[in-house]
Amino acid sequence: MAIVALAIAVSGCATADLPVASIPSGPVPAMPSAVSSLAAPLADPMPASASAAVTPGGYVSFCLRFPDQCETTPNAPTSIALTPQAWATLAKVNSDVNAAIWPEDDSRHYGRVEYWTIPSDGYGDCEDYALTKRKNLAGLGLPLSALRIAVVVTPSEVRHAVLTVVTDKGDFVLDNLTNDILPWDQTGFTWIERQAPGNAMAWVSLRPADRMLASTGDSMITGGTH
């Protein structure tokens, strides 16, 4: 447990293997996505957890600056119907945001370890991609309560954040590392925590003991950043 806690505490996001010197003046072009062109697949729902988690400090700060993105609407649906139109919307927003933001960590960008935001200058880290996708999808009519930020550890043992979408066909992941939208249990991530249903400020722990891994088997988690 101590090792897992260390991994969560270490700041940073997984990124594509892009040299710093190659940062362009314009947005990153979108990569083609095989999954995005297909009909929506089926996925399992993520296991529920009643264990409370401490809301990440970066998210609390974000909500103070973007209160409209953290509002809780009573009786709002906590999942969406994954119609072909909804799938196409998820795929477009995922690829569009991935193309619009160039990866840059908070320390270099803002001079601080953690700063969750919706970037306005075309640069951001994993939380910023996820928050931007969440905002754009909410603007298209999807309920915020079905769009939940999650904190994970990647197979390369790096702390990372993604957007999860809860649907009637299971839970899917929108990630800045790929334009493919994957079922949560096909990502290879160890799932640590995510936003709770029905309360934008509450988070639940996805217990490390559950070993929510996809095709990687059990592995020890250690700290690391990119």
Residue 211's pLDDT band (boundaries 50, 70, 90)? very low
Q: Which residue pairs, CB below 8 angstroms and at least 24 apart, start in 100-103? A: 100/27, 100/28, 100/132, 101/27, 101/28, 101/128, 101/129, 101/132, 101/176, 102/23, 102/24, 102/27, 102/28, 103/13, 103/15, 103/16, 103/18, 103/176
Residue 82, amino acid = L
Interval 34-82: pLDDT, tens: 344 445 667 878 877 667 778 999 999 999 999 999 988 888 899 999 9
The token duo for 42 is: 């089926």
Is residue 26's pLDDT more than 60?
no
- The span from the CA of 105 to the CA of 25, in Å, is 17
Residue 59, pLDDT score: 96
- The span from the CA of 194 to the CA of 148, in Å, is 6
Report the half-sphere exposure of 159 (CA within 13 A, side-chain side): 22
Interval 92-126: pLDDT, tens: 999 999 999 999 999 999 999 899 999 999 999 99
The token duo for 105 is: 């960590």
Residue 53, pLDDT score: 78
The whole-chain average pLDDT of the chain stands at 79
Is residue 172's pLDDT more than 90?
yes
The token duo for 191 is: 């799932």
Of the two residues 35 and 205, the one the predictor is more confident about is: 205
Residue 1, pLDDT score: 39
Of the two residues 32 and 172, the one the predictor is more confident about is: 172
Residue 49, pLDDT score: 67
Bridge partners (DSSP) of residue 161 are 151
Alpha-carbon 213 to chain mean position: 16
Mean pLDDT (whole number) for 173-187: 95
204-to-148, 180, 218 alpha-carbon distances in Å: 11, 26, 22
